[in-house]
Amino acid sequence: MLSRLTPYFLVLPLISFIAVFTYIPIASSLNLSFREWDFLSPTMPLVGVENYRLLFSSHEFWNSLKVTAIFALVSVPIRLGLALLVASYLVREVLPSRILRGALFLPSVTSTVSIAVVFSWLFATDYGMINAFLQTLGLGKVPWLQDPQLALGVLIIVNTWKQLGYDIVIYIAGLQAIPQELYDAAAVDGGRKGRVFRRVTVPLVMPTTYFLLVVSVIEAFQVFTVVDIMTKGGPAGATDMLVNMLYRIGFTLFDIGQGSALAVVLFALLTALALFKARVLGRRVHYEA
């Protein structure tokens, strides 16, 4: 009897930890999403689905959803494509590769706030280094963070720059797990580099791609710090991603009910996306060579 319960006892501390910091807050958010509260009032009256109705009828929510979807759809393929390309060049265990891997990984472990502040300076219209450089080339100033068409692109560049190193390191681990014999066999058969990459490397690194896809889509939907520091969701809502909107509703406009409703919608959206990816892409992932 005791031996049957032992595994449960062993995982109990971890389950308790997750319950306190994940499951209880999720349940609490769900509860708050049906109430009206401003953090300060002693009462939290039930308002039914009013918060959801207000959310779905607001232009801001649909704009945020669109902006977040664009951010994810553009940034994730760029990140993964670039990371695989760079990783395939850095996979060999030689000193320059190791140094470059370290250099590329550095932004991943650097404070996002520091990165966002530095890039804000770089991309400033009148006082930024990038425009100063463009002017030395005889080009005009570009309103990087003030033009709605450009601001999201800048955030994608900054986020890609920060996350690329992590993706590269994971890809290198995936590439190193591919048996060398397969490349040798392809070489004997006269396979060209590009074809070998497409037919051998890409399919066999699929489990890593799948893992990075899941992680990076979740991360893209939860981007906040870079937005908060660099644009605060502006200009004119052009970078107002879902978590930024959630923060604004909850912590600036004091509407915890509607903020919680948005958190629940975001949770449902990410769960649906994860299930979709598992159904559609999970089948194409091969874990054996």
Partner 1 sequence: MLKNLKKLLLAGLIGLSGSISAAQAEVTVEFWHSFDGSGGEALGKIIENFQAANPDIRIDAQFIGNYNDIVTKLQAAIPARRAPDAVIMEVTRYGLFADRGVLMDLTEKVNADPLKDDLFDFAREVGVFEGKNYIVPFNSSTPVLYYNKEIFERAGFAEEPALKTYDDLLAVSKQITEKLGDEGITGIAAPGQFARWGLIMDNDSDLIDSKTGEILIDSPNTIEAYEWMASLVHEHKVASADGVTKENNGRDAFLASKVGIMLNSTGNYGRSKKALGDNLAVRPMPCNKVCAVPIGGAGIGILSSADKETQDAAYKFISFAASPESNAIWFAGTGYMPINKHTAEQPLAAAAVQDKPGITVAIDQLDFARGRPRPPVVTWMRATEYDMWEAMALGQREPAETLKDFADRTRKEAERTN
Q: Which residues bind partner 1 (CB under 8 A)?
A: 38-42, 120, 124-128, 143, 145-146, 148, 231-237, 248, 251-254
Least separation in angstroms between residue 40's CB and partner 1 is 4
Distance of CA 48 to the CA centre of its chain: 32
d(CA 8, CA 180): 41
Least separation in angstroms between residue 126's CB and partner 1 is 4
d(CA 258, CA 64): 14
d(CA 160, CA 251): 28
Least separation in angstroms between residue 266's CB and partner 1 is 19
Nearer to partner 1, 134 or 273 (CB): 134
Nearer to partner 1, 62 or 276 (CB): 62
Measured at the CA of 21, the angle between CA 42 and CA 231, to 5 degrees, comes to: 80
Least separation in angstroms between residue 37's CB and partner 1 is 9
Nearer to partner 1, 16 or 252 (CB): 252
Nearer to partner 1, 60 or 219 (CB): 60
CB 165 within 8 A of CB 104: yes
Least separation in angstroms between residue 139's CB and partner 1 is 15
Q: Tokens 């760029």 sit at which residue?
A: 78
Least separation in angstroms between residue 28's CB and partner 1 is 11
Nearer to partner 1, 101 or 248 (CB): 248
Nearer to partner 1, 26 or 99 (CB): 26
Q: Is 206 exposed, middle or buried (0-12, 13-18, 19+ CB in 10 A)?
A: middle
Nearer to partner 1, 197 or 224 (CB): 224
User: Encoding tokens for residue 267?
Assistant: 């949770």
Q: What is the identity of the amino acid at 1?
A: M
Closest by CA position to 211, among listed 171, 177, 159, 175: 171
Closest by CA position to 223, among listed 276, 131, 173, 156: 156
Least separation in angstroms between residue 235's CB and partner 1 is 5
CB 257 within 8 A of CB 33: yes
